[in-house]
Amino acid sequence: MKIIINVKKLYDYEEVYQEEESDYELEDFELFSEAVKLKGPAHVSFRLSRVRSGIILDGRMDARVELTCVRCLKRFEKDVEAEMHEAFAIPGFEENFEGFDDVYMIERQSEIDIEPALHSNLVVSIPSNPICNEACKGICEGCGADLNTETCACKKEEIDPRLEILKKLKDSL
C-alpha cells in the first residue's frame, strides 16, 4: 500500500522545507522466517528538503511490533525506532545521491511514496536475535520445558569454564 506525500511546493521551489508528522499503518512482514506484526500504526516525523536533484528525507520512526523470542519461542511486543535518511531523486538524477542506501523516485513530479522507505527502515530496526526479556531462561533442549515457568529434571552440565580447566588439570594429575 502506497503512502503518498504531495511535494508539489518543494518540487516547484515554492518552499525549501516541508515538515510532516503522522501515524501510518504499515504492513506485517516476515524476517528470518518469523512473522513481524505491527501493533498499531508507526509514528513518523520527518523533514523533506529540496536539493537540486530531488528531495532528501530526514526523520524518525517509532513503532511497536510483535516478535518471537529466540530463547523461549513466545511472542512478545517490543518498541523499535529508526533514524531515517533517504533520497528521492528526480528521474534521471539518481546518480547524484551516492552514499544513500536506497534512492527512491519522485513520482509524477509532485508526489513521493514513502512506504518502501518506512518499510526498509522498520526492517532494519528489528533485532536479529529478539529476546523477550534479558533474563529469559528459554526452553530446555532436553525436554522442551519453558524454564521461565517450569523446572525440569534434566541434568544440567553448566560448568564455569575456569573451573573446567582446573577440573581437567586435576584429572590429568
Distance between CA 105 and CA 119 in Å, rounded? 16
Sign of CA dihedral 93, 111, 82, 120: negative
CA distance 65 to 162: 40
Task: Extract the C-alpha cell encoding 54.
Answer: 530531488
Could you tell me how far CA 25 lies from the centroid of its own chain? 15
Segment contacting Zn ion by CB under 5 A, of 10-18, 90-98, 121-129, 143-151: 143-151
Smaller CB distance to Zn ion: residue 156 or 170?
156
What is the x/- site pattern for Zn ion, positions 68-87, by CB under 5 A? -x-xx---------------
Of 56 and 136, nearer to Zn ion (C-beta) is: 136
Query: Among 31, 56, 105, 140, which residue sits at the site for Zn ion (rule: CB under 5 A)?
Result: 140
Footprint of Zn ion on this chain (CB under 5 A)? 69, 71-72, 132, 136, 140, 142-143, 145, 152, 154
